[in-house]
Structure 1
Amino acid sequence: MKIAAIQMRSGPEPEANLAALEPLLAEAVAAGAHYVLTPEVTVAFAENREGLARVAGPYEGNPQLAVLADLAKRHGVFLHIGSMAVALEDRRFANRSVLLGPDGQVQGLYDKIHLFDADIAGLNAYRESDTYKGGDAAVVVPVDDIKLGMAICYDVRFPPLFNALANGGAQLIAVPAAFTVPTGEAHWEVLLRARAIETGSYVIAAAQGGVHPNGRATYGHSMIIDPWGKIVAMLDHDAPGVITAEISAEAVADARQRVPALANARDFAKALPR
């Protein structure tokens, strides 16, 4: 199966972002992709909580999702929206990944589990949990004969999630993201390759890139990595674009046989100093 990752530079207005996505999706389909991943915050990359509240509606009856479902159906592909903000009843949002099938129907949903809450010396405290409610379930869904595991951005720093996805059957793991430039330069590639190597899975990472209308700068450098940890497709910049690669279940099985880390893993007691 051929897969594709779309790199974007989303802004705060959903209509403009959907218009920017359409030709990139057409390019991916023209290249033969049957599964296409978009970045985190594809639909709206808002400046702040107030801006997000202005454009992010509930999941049920969501007008942007209806447009995306029509795109998936029109092109006859699995369209994986890396994430979109969905308004919840407690006035927070879910950072939700949505897989749409070639018929335009929802095939899978995943709410980002790990939220970035940090106090960094010299910088303001950042509390993603003030705006978003974290999910609580790992998700693996079929994409034809390939099983897809879902993750979002900061999740890539938590190997147990990827281990759970691989043990749940995932052969391809999606990591849509909006990595900052400093963390992207330092960690993006090595984290993605590590997750592919330790699980013997393909990893596809669709990124936001460049300076956005909200003033944020993201790293870009979308990439697809094979189960042996080799980068098989990459954008070496932060501009919008498309990458594609062929994947196979056989390559996953081969990598897991050569290094059977999933099969060899053991539970162990913790005898650590207090």
Structure 2
Amino acid sequence: MTRIAVLQMQSGIDPDANRATLVQAADDAAKGGAAMLFTPEMSGLLDRDRKRAAQSIVAEEEDTVLAAMREAAARNGIWIALGSLAVKGEGDRWANRSFVIDDRGGIAARYDKMHMFDVTLEDGESWQESSAYRAGDGVVAVDTPVGRLGLTICYDVRFPALYHALGHLQCDVIAIPAAFTRPTGRDHWHILQRARAIEASAYVVAAAQVGEHEDGRATFGHSLVVGPWGEVTLDIRGDAPGLAFAEIDRDRVAGVRRQVPSLANRRDIPEPAQR
């Protein structure tokens, strides 16, 4: 069994304030005996005003939140799955980028969100992530204290092929950091997280944003840990941020894969014939 910490966060428009929250969470996670801390999508800055946000978005080597978390990881001897940061990418686009930081402060892996959140909901809430962010194109997994960790971000959860790929990479755990809207969260959050865990026969760790944010948005919360059988082992309820702990049992993953070897049994589905 490996102990992890999951941060439910209410990120705002001030990277300095968000950085302080994240560093404190790393300290508290280590004190609580966690080998690894998981944080939400857009941990360092959550701001839908892109003109204002542009003043704070820099290249990753200049990002003070990333630097602080690398230092906190090394000081505490803890791994950190930093859900994502907005960083400057290629050309005029940004990247929504996850980082895995090892217990010496090194960057063990990076992942750029593949699927852009371009939606308009029935209540009029509209998001066009691709207008500012460039989508990633690589499947990423990395060996960590919790086993092999697959990296995804938020809207990726709606695209099962990515989780099939991570399952075939024998991921023990898949991170799905998120800033889920309340309308979609109420109806889809728990179902999607459990489905992805079952499909990949792996743990899912979904650290989430929660509550009313400075930029005017509202996020669903309910940070989750889901086991490989689809059982919810942690659900941070309520509208408040906080830190919680859970256990990852890699033997449980192996046991589920022996019982239902769906990854081994999977066949490639041919494209349908054109009519």
Amino acid at match of 1:221: H
Partner of 1:68: 69
Contact between 1:6 and 1:242, CA under 8 Å: does it hold in 2?
yes
Instruction: Please list, as runs of the form range in 1=range in 2, the aligned pairs for 1:1-274 lying within 5 A after superposition.
Output: 1-120=2-121, 123=124, 126-144=127-145, 146-271=147-272, 274=275
**TM-score if structure 2 supplies the norm length?**
0.95
Which is worse superposed, 223-232 or 116-125?
116-125
Q: Tell me the secondary structure at the aligned position of residue 62 of structure 2.
A: coil
Deviations 1:13-67 (A, max 9, x none): 1100011223333322222111111000000011321122110101223332111
**Which 10-residue stretch deviates more, 143-152 or 209-218?**
143-152
Mapped contact 2:146–2:248 kept (Cα < 8 A): no
Shift of 1:101: 0.6
Give 2:38's aligned amino acid: L
Structure 2 residue matching 1:29: 3-state secondary structure: helix
Q: In percent, how many aligned pairs have the same letter?
A: 43
Q: Is the 8 A contact 2:146 2:172 kept in 1?
A: no
Decide whether aligned partners of structure 1 residues 254 and 120 sit closer, same or farther in structure 2, where only a CA change above 3 A counts: same
Distance across 1 between alignment mates of 2:74 and 2:7: 18
User: Could you tell me how far apart the structure 2 residues matched to 1:163 and 1:260 are?
Assistant: 13
Please say if residues 10 and 211 of structure 2, whose CA atoms lie closer than 8 Å, have aligned partners that are also in contact. yes
Structure 2 distance, partners of 1:119, 1:225, is 29
TM-score, normalization by structure 1:
0.95
1:223–1:234 contact (8 Å) kept in structure 2: yes
Contact 1:12/1:47, CA 8 A, preserved across alignment: no
| Contact 1:208–1:238, Cα closer than 8 Å, also in 2 | no
One-letter amino acid matched to 1:142: D
Deviations 1:81-117 (A, max 9, x none): 1000011242210000011111001000000000012
Name segments (4+ residues, structure 1) moved above 4 Å. 119-122
- Aligned-residue Cα RMSD (Å) equals 1.6
Give the distance between the partners of 1:69 and 1:244, measured in 2 at CA.
Answer: 21
Do 1:209 and 1:239's aligned partners in 2 also have CA atoms closer than 8 Å? yes
2:97–2:113 CA contact under 8 A, matched in 1? yes
Using the alignment, how far apart are the partners of 2:100 and 2:254 within structure 1?
24
Contact 2:8 2:207 in 1 (8 A): yes
Q: Which amino acid aligns with 1:185?
A: R
Structure 1, unpaired ranges of 5+: none
Paired residue type of 1:143? T
Letter in 2 for 1:32: G
Gaps of 5+ in 2: none
For the 8 Å contact 1:4–1:242, the answer to whether it is kept is yes
8 Å CA contact 1:223, 1:243 repeated in 2: no
